[in-house]
Amino acid sequence: MEPGSEVGLRVDQTLTQDATGTMVMLELEAMELDRVHTELSVQYVDHNLLQTDEKNPDDHLFLESAAQRFGLWFSKAGNGVSHPVHQAHFGRPGVIMIGSDSHTCAAGALGMLAIGVGGLEVAMAMAGQPLYVAMPEIWGVELTGQLPDWVSAKDVVLEMLRRHGVKGGAGRIIEYHGEGLAHLTAMDRHVIANMGAELGATTSIFPADDAVRQYLEAVGRGEDYTEIVADNGAEYDVTEHINLSELEPLIAKPTSPGNVIPVAEVTDEDVAQVVIGSSANPGLRDFAVVAEILDGQQAHQGVSVDINPTSREVLADLISGGWLTSLVGSGARIHQSGCLGCIGMGQAPASGRNSLRTMPRNFPGRSGTEEDSVWLCSPETASAAALTGKITDPRTLEDSHGISYPRPEMPETYSVINDMLLPPLEPEKANKVELVKGPNISALPDFEPIPDQLSAPVLLVMGDDVSTDEIMRAGSQVLPYRSNIPKIAEFSFTRIDKTYPERAHQAKDGHVVVGGDNYGQGSSREHAVIAPRYLGLQAVIAKSFARIHWQNLANFGILPLEFDDPSDYDEISQDDQMLVDDLHEALRAGRTLTATIGDREVKLNHRLSDRQVDMVLAGGRIPLTAQQSQ
């Protein structure tokens, strides 16, 4: 298990959500799977909750029927965001879990090895195949001290992003350890582990210690606890130290989670919206602290305060603890349990106005507003803005508003609601279930393998840190077509170049695109690969790739290539013609091939294993699996 080499992992649990799960279920259907082979698989409905027409409810019915057919648990719309609900009901130390959501890594809070991947990887794991990953380095982050007042777990991961940016965790698993952990609850750890995705890390992991035991007992599953802690003197490939006592309130400026500065440096910026919720701050404490800060106060008249309880159980505990009354009394708007504004499903901010959110991402346009201005922060910082109408260092509230830092007392046991979690059907009943497909649900397209002579125009040349939200928009206008590849393909790259779909149609024999560093960061959505593939995308050349997107490209037969000399990137122009002769032999022969792009020869590298080369040459993992089974 050397860093960089390919390893295979047996998968115990899988997680899918509705924005990605429809493709997973179509992939299971294409593979003619009888029943999932995992210990436990759960399909959540948490992203696409708006029912502006029939598309989303039709997909929900399809997902429920697929869960029944293939043997999954099903979490109904409104039950809550997948990650905290899974942690409460199914997470346990020592489990290997993958999910078709990049924030699956949040489960590392319980001592799980939880990795976000593309949907096809999840489908293959459901079919009993291993997850193949490049063996990561282990990055040990020692935490000492204790968080001061007005600083919370969100500021810890923002500090990591301030130090290292959105590429700092690439090729690494972040393992948190040290005496500072004694002061972080399991839900605090969830906050930190969740946004390891924004660092580009394979995953993050915490020990399963007393904090995890206390959490599992509080949700009625104490019997699932197993202690898993690092040996004394454990060594790490990379080391880091954070003194929690020295942290201050931090905030990520638009339009990147890595654009982090102290809140004190941007005070007096006007704020029009504050949104509390999402998987990045999902715990009861994260809402209760807002309620106690706002208690008896009225939110600033110019600020919309939006509260998204992350589960029905959190909502029930907010009611029983009296916190919901405080929130309603402050003028806050209470929304249903789900992702909502985090994925651009409603709650779009006004144009030209700042929105402060306790969410994990602020990529351009992700909120649903084309030229948005989204800032990422802790619940404490969000609450201060809700009161003042400006970005405000929450530490000043004691002097300006006479508010002492609240420490909400959590209940000994949390609410447990099982009614909206539907268990798998018995096999004899499951085999009789017919998949319910509305008119917006299409079959998974068949794709032609990449030709031996690749001759194609460069349709786009993009910069660094292109996100999957820019490749394939999220939001209420686009995601309802997640089960309809021909339709959603028409939105491909339109945030970057509105003419791309039309030009891709005109390039009848295929095309390539070029990107800079960290191409494909962000969401695990396969649509950012499948839709351009449907339009003829054959290869992507970049300085470097984000892990999940690179894997998704290979899974669907798109060739991911990296510049041997990054300066060659500067010489490529849109509409240059790319030519590679004897491509198949070149891929099998080694890691480097030579392409002619425009009038220059360019050396390009690939990091594909032999298995992945076979996959790309077959047209993707599904056709390769079909060939191998014949």
Q: Per the structure block, which two tokens stand in for 177?
A: 């350890």
Residues in a beta bridge with 563 = 604
Vertex 520: Cα angle to 373 and 552 (nearest 5): 140
Q: How far apart are CA 422 and CA 217, in angstroms?
A: 23
| CATH numbers and ranges of domains, the chain | 6-246 (3.30.499.10), 265-401 (3.30.499.10), 454-473+481-629 (3.20.19.10)
Q: Which amino acid is at 358?
A: T
Q: What pLDDT band is residue 268 in, cutting at 50, 70 and 90?
A: confident
pLDDT surpasses 80 at 629: no
Mind spelling out the 3-state secondary structure of 18-70?
Answer: HHHHHHHHHHHHHCCCCCCCCCEEEEECCCCCCCCCCHHHHHHHHHHHHHHHH
- Name 129's Cβ contacts closer than 8 Å, sequence gap at least 6: none
Using an 8 Å Cβ cutoff, are 515 and 540 in contact?
yes
Q: Per the structure block, which two tokens stand in for 275?
A: 């949104």
Using an 8 Å Cβ cutoff, are 309 and 277 in contact?
yes
pLDDT surpasses 80 at 336: yes
Using an 8 Å Cβ cutoff, are 589 and 559 in contact?
no
What is the per-residue pLDDT for 627? 82
**Tokens 């942290």 label which residue?**
247
Q: Per the structure block, which two tokens stand in for 207?
A: 């020990």
Question: pLDDT tens, 208-222?
Answer: 999 999 999 999 999
pLDDT surpasses 70 at 562: yes
Percent of the chain whose predicted confidence (pLDDT) is above 70 = 100
Residues in a beta bridge with 141 = 176, 240
Please state whether beta strands 273-277 and 333-334 pair in parallel, antiparallel, or not at all (unpaired): unpaired
Vertex 253: Cα angle to 494 and 550 (nearest 5): 45
Radius of gyration of the chain, Cα coordinates, nearest whole angstrom: 24
- Name 41's Cβ contacts closer than 8 Å, sequence gap at least 6: 13, 14, 15, 16, 70, 71, 72, 73, 126
Q: How far apart are CA 417 and CA 385, in angstroms?
A: 33
**Tokens 């349990």 label which residue?**
337
Q: Per the structure block, which two tokens stand in for 381?
A: 């910082």
Question: pLDDT tens, 300-326?
Answer: 999 999 999 999 999 999 999 999 999
Average the pLDDT over 537-561 and give the result: 97
Is pTM, for the whole model, over 0.85?
A: yes
